[in-house]
Amino acid sequence: MHPRNAIKKQGAASQEDMASISTVPQHVAIIMDGNGRWAKQRGLSRVEGHRAGTENIRRVIDAFAGRGVKYLTLYAFSTENWSRPRSEVNGLFRLLGQVIQRETRALHERGVHIRHLGTTDGLSSHLVRQVKEAVELTRHNTNITLSLAFNYGGRAEILGVVRRLIEEKAPPESIDEKLFASYLFTAGLPDPDLIIRTGGELRLSNFLLWQAAYSEYYATPTYWPDFDEEEIEDAIRAYSQRQRRFGGLVPTAKCKGGVAA
Ligand code: FPP
């Protein structure tokens, strides 16, 4: 454990923390980047980096749930990640299977509702079964919804909706944002309020392209395995200081005809 976390109880924000954080995002989505660089710094293999990243998942779920976040979405494997070396892809899916196997029961006991965002194309039948069972077991839980985005790509998701609307011969005038969103993998989830990217890069990497239209962004250079309680607090604090306008104007703004975003 990092020394600065030693005196903090995992998952719980102190009263002082809570007092300084006025607005907690309802839905946080995370691009967990930097496992490879974390491993390289330590002379370890990339798969070891992903293993360390996996170890971090439980503390992150507990910390966000403890702060009142109701939806947490983690980007674990994109459709583009298939282009990585076979050994890394296999290692990632092995880790994913191990996490589901090892953690589902404990997550269920903590009231976590697990969802999968993405397709099952190319996944082993064993992993598909494990995922289905985890989703089924936890479907009525209400503490926090944990969506694991793997085998997920934002453009492919949008194309999938278009194909289905065409297949179902949806009348053009019936297609609005609400209908469209109801065909996305995220159907029923609110759009992410806050998207966090670890590892220092500043891009979306095909993550939640439709859903991110008005999300706030937060990037940290910290590699994913080191993304800890203090980092989480910083991200939530930064979010609470943002002014969200959803394309309108600031209610108290005196500017005339000002453009807002
Ligand atoms: C990016 O790091 C991370 C990934 C492609 C995978 C993230 C996966 C996990 C944390 C483990 C499995 C997840 C779950 C939810 C069980 P990178 O390899 O691109 O790092 P780099 O940019 O430093 O090379």
Query: What is the domain partition of the chain in residue ranges?
Result: 22-260
CATH class of domain segment(s) 22-260: alpha beta
Report whether pLDDT(7) > 50: no
Q: How confident is the model at residue 251 (pLDDT cuts 50, 70, 90)?
A: low
User: For 135-145, how does the pLDDT look when each residue is reduced to its tens digit (9 = 90+)?
Assistant: 999 999 999 99
Q: How confident is the model at residue 3 (pLDDT cuts 50, 70, 90)?
A: very low
Q: How far is CA 195 from the centre of its chain?
A: 8
pTM for the structure as a whole: 0.88
Per-residue pLDDT averaged across 161-173, rounded? 98
Task: State which of 30, 35, 37 you would mutate to test the pocket of ligand 1, scoring each by most atoms of that ligand within 8 A of its C-beta.
Answer: 35
Contact by Cβ (8 Å): 149, 118: yes
pLDDT at 244: 86
118 lines ligand 1 (CB under 6 A): no
User: For 120-132, how does the pLDDT look when each residue is reduced to its tens digit (9 = 90+)?
Assistant: 999 999 999 999 9
Q: How far apart are CA 136 and CA 140, in angstroms?
A: 8
Q: How confident is the model at residue 257 (pLDDT cuts 50, 70, 90)?
A: very low
**Closest by CA position to 237, among listed 5, 4, 1, 19:** 19
**Closest by CA position to 189, among listed 221, 146, 140:** 146
Q: How far is CA 184 from the centre of its chain?
A: 15
Cβ atoms within 10 Å of 109's Cβ, excluding its own:
10
Per-residue pLDDT averaged across 210-239, rounded? 97
33 lines ligand 1 (CB under 6 A): yes
